[in-house]
Amino acid sequence: MKNPTYSREHIAYLKKQRNKKIIVHFSRVLLLAAVLGIWEICAQCKVIDPFITSSPSRVIKTLGNLYADGTLFYHIGITLMETLVGFALAVVLGYAVAIVLWSSDTVRKVLEPYVVVLNSLPKIALGPLIIIWIGTGYDAIIFMTVLVSIIVCIMNMLTGFIGVDATKMTLMRSMGASKLTTLRKLVIPASLPALMNTLKVAVGLAWIGSIMGEYIVSKAGLGYLIVYGGQVFKLDLVMTATFILCVLAGGMYGIISLIEKYVTRN
């Protein structure tokens, strides 16, 4: 406590705030436990058919089996690698393209309709082309991941760059700053919140891209497990892979949120 001489009212207020927080956290855990519990009970009592719906205990068992035969981390590792590499490439390339578009009005106007069309195109339509052009390896999946997430990176960053306060731009101009100097001293630091936002959106899209890529062409990975499990009616495997995906995607989002907090703490 910074100030020990709070009034009684203020202490009551703080307590109320803390209680509220506790209730929210507790309710979250309770909700998850209730859903899992009801699922498990229904499956145990054969209200629902666990062969089709699986159940929490079956998921845990499947996790154990995957771990035991040593393939758990193999599949996780492959999907994680594809997602992270695709994500990183999309952000770096997207950032670079956004800088080019920012630096020239003419280039921006020329390319605008293409960016818009590419953004609305369902990327999965390019699946067959990707297989033929790039093959069936990891690089095809990474390519798909980049394809799915890069347009949003470009558009988000461009909006961030263009949205930099006009007064600050005038200030730089009045000091005779070059475009490069303006970019380095003003535009890049000022658009940091936009970058953080872009990372958050792009990480979600990267997961979509990598799993979609694995649906189209793969020999391993979580998306592969889901497709394979569906084909041979091993719904336990499908549920387990989905569960792992939830944890990974949530964790990655959490890491980016932490980075954001650290970067924008001022």
Q: State the sign of the Cα–Cα–Cα–Cα dihedral 247, 259, 95, 85.
A: negative
Q: Which of 172, 199, 225, 226 binds another protein (CB under 8 A)?
A: 172
Task: Name 90's Cβ contacts closer than 8 Å, sequence gap at least 6.
Answer: 145, 146, 148, 149, 150, 153, 202, 205, 206
Nearest distance from residue 191's CB to another protein, in Å? 11
Single out the residue of 116, 81, 89, 92 nearest to residue 195, CA to CA: 92
Q: Which is nearer to another protein, 119 or 181 (CB)?
A: 181
Chain centre distance of CA 35: 25
Nearest distance from residue 161's CB to another protein, in Å? 16
Nearest distance from residue 153's CB to another protein, in Å? 22
Contact 158, 100 (CB under 8 A): no
Does residue 42 interact with another protein by CB under 8 A?
A: no
Q: Which is nearer to another protein, 4 or 176 (CB)?
A: 176
Does residue 266 interact with another protein by CB under 8 A?
A: yes
Nearest distance from residue 263's CB to another protein, in Å? 10
Does residue 171 interact with another protein by CB under 8 A?
A: yes
Nearest distance from residue 212's CB to another protein, in Å? 37
Distance separating alpha carbons of residues 177 and 52, to the nearest angstrom: 65
From the CA atom positions of the chain, what is the Rg in Å? 24
Does residue 167 interact with another protein by CB under 8 A?
A: yes
Binding-site string for another protein from residue 191 to residue 230, where x marks contact by CB under 8 A and - marks none = -x--------------------------------------
Chain centre distance of CA 116: 22
Looking only at residues 173 through 192 of this chain, which bind another protein when binding is defined by CB under 8 A? 173-177, 181, 185-186, 189-190, 192
Total binding residues toward another protein, as defined by CB under 8 A: 18
Nearest distance from residue 109's CB to another protein, in Å? 14
Q: Which is nearer to another protein, 187 or 238 (CB)?
A: 187
Distance separating alpha carbons of residues 70 and 50, to the nearest angstrom: 25
Q: How many CB atoms lie within 10 A of CB 134?
A: 16
Distance separating alpha carbons of residues 94 and 116, to the nearest angstrom: 14
Does residue 261 interact with another protein by CB under 8 A?
A: no
Contact 257, 200 (CB under 8 A): yes
Report the interface residues with another protein, using CB under 8 A: 165, 167-168, 170-177, 181, 185-186, 189-190, 192, 266
